[in-house]
Amino acid sequence: MGKFSHIKLTDVLIEEGLITTTQIDELIQMEKDKSAGLEEMIVKSGIIDKNTLMSRKAEMIHTRYVDVSCYPGYEEFVHLLPEATCRKYSLICINKVENKLSLVMTNPSDVSSIDDIRLVSGYEIEPLLGYEPDIKFALNQVFGDQAFQNIVDVAFMSGLNITEKRLPQDGRVQMNIKGKSIDLRISILPTIAGEGVVIRILDRASISLKLEDIGLIPSMAENFKASVSQPNGMIMVTGPTGSGKTTTLYAVLNTLNSPTKKILTIEDPVEYYLYGINQVQVKPTIGFTFATGLRTFFRQDPDIIMVGEVRDFETAQTAIEAALTGHLVLSTLHTNDAIGTVVRLIDMGIKSFLIASTLRCVLAQRLARVICPNCKEPIQPSGNLLKFMDKLSIPIPDNIQLFKGKGCNVCNRTGYKGRIGIFELLIMSTELERGVTDKASSLHLLEIAKQEGLKTLLEDGIEKVLQGLTTIEEIFRVVHNL
């Protein structure tokens, strides 16, 4: 056992003829593109079986390997340590003898972690080696029942009928977690395999309500601010569900909010509460829709109106009327790009000349994941990418440098941490208004917009790739249909 004390595992495996240097290099290269670690890659490749690999590693660090996947009876000891501790240190408790816990860990030679666990738990620790995927699976199996109970508790607090298993349900609850006010939106969908539950977390403290912080490039931010500062007209924000449209509208409202302006919003549901703004939630079950709420707003003497979403002709027509009668109207649509908003409104039945006379601008957006700063590393751009950028007439820097997240514990080995907005801003110029009035095709409108300086979603995304904020793969993922 002594010969392994100061030798890397890969060196031992190569020395014993279990793997070659070439195979190691290939796996390391593959590891950069996957969330799995090197040990897991070796096992999955079939080069070395799990038991052989982990036994060799255990011998190196002077402990023994325990295969959790076939170890009986550990369930009764797992709860001796909190779930958070088990997941933080990637460990599972399999036994307790007097005042000593036997812990199967991914890194049993980490003295600092063992000291932390000893201090927190009050037990002596016997560190054993385990295979990380097996430990994760075991933790999910053991703590899964508790997760289910937590979901049931949240559903009950949100006012849902937990005995109803046949109908879809939606609910909402506000919770105080570690001093932070968190809104949870719960959606339950009955399926043939049981109920599917989605919980959307709305953290008021984490939302940025400043236009400067949503990710617009300076020139785009300046033009957008000029558009939303006009006293009347219609501002549209477009994109798929979950692309941050509501957050952008809230940032606009927060910018425009002042004691001299009366702002009314009608939403489904009200996602965040804004101080000094009158927010209304639709109630379709009693006939209170976006359109009926908008008509009521006319008698409330507002300066600015926000409509959560334009879903039909009646809502669109009423919003147009509000914009024509001296109000600034903000709303959202589900379209792929900015030009698509004009086409969608026409398809809904709105007259083209009304769109041309009221629409001030359209902001299309997506959310792309940001490269994890903790494991960010430089990579060389591929030839295909450079050709693609050249085709789009995007200037290519002489010393172009791209980045990618290798994957670490901070980002859960995904290579990404946080999100950033990707935008496309269409400003309605005189030429575009003429094109809309004349019912020009979307391709012709796009050509006009590009001549006037429109930066598309894809172009804005690639610019953020060149800035080292995200990856080209992520941009293609969120704007693949453009």
Mean pLDDT of all residues in 380-406: 77
Tell me: do 244 and 187 sit in the same domain. Answer: no
Query: Are the beta carbons of 139 and 83 closer than 8 angstroms?
Result: yes
Tell me: do 116 and 239 sit in the same domain. Answer: no
319 domain residue, yes or no: yes
CATH number, domain of 165, equals 3.30.450.90
Per the confidence metrics, is the pTM higher than 0.75? no
Tell me: do 220 and 181 sit in the same domain. Answer: no
146 domain residue, yes or no: no
Tell me: do 350 and 428 sit in the same domain. Answer: yes
CATH number, domain of 63, equals 3.30.300.160
- CB atoms inside a 10 Å sphere around CB 58: 19
The more confidently predicted of residues 365 and 30 is 365
Tell me: do 189 and 227 sit in the same domain. Answer: no
Query: Are the beta carbons of 102 and 39 closer than 8 angstroms?
Result: no
- Interval 344-384: pLDDT, tens: 999 999 999 999 999 999 999 999 999 999 899 998 877 77
143 domain residue, yes or no: no
Instruction: Determine whether 354 is exposed, middle or buried from the number of CB atoms within 10 Å of its CB (0-12, 13-18, 19+).
Output: buried
Tell me: do 174 and 265 sit in the same domain. Answer: no
- Which residue range is the domain that position 262 belongs to? 211-478
Mean pLDDT of all residues in 61-66: 91
Tell me: do 338 and 401 sit in the same domain. Answer: yes
Percent of the chain with pLDDT over 90: 47
pLDDT at 129 over 90: yes
- Interval 224-264: pLDDT, tens: 999 999 999 999 999 998 898 988 999 999 999 999 999 99
- CB atoms inside a 10 Å sphere around CB 457: 22
The alpha carbon torsion through 338, 295, 323, 222 (nearest 10 deg) reads: -60
Tell me: do 338 and 265 sit in the same domain. Answer: yes
Tell me: do 167 and 231 sit in the same domain. Answer: no
Mean pLDDT of the residues in the chain = 87
Question: Measuring CA to CA, which residue among 320, 368, 393 is closest to residue 474?
Answer: 368
Tell me: do 350 and 441 sit in the same domain. Answer: yes
**Residues, the chain:** 482
Of the pLDDT bands very low, low, confident and very high (cuts 50, 70, 90), residue 278 is very high
The amino acid present at 86, given as its one-letter code, is C
Mean pLDDT of all residues in 147-159: 72
331 domain residue, yes or no: yes
Number of domains observed in the structure of the chain: 3
Tell me: do 195 and 292 sit in the same domain. Answer: no
334 domain residue, yes or no: yes
CA distance 63 to 140: 25
Tell me: do 12 and 115 sit in the same domain. Answer: yes
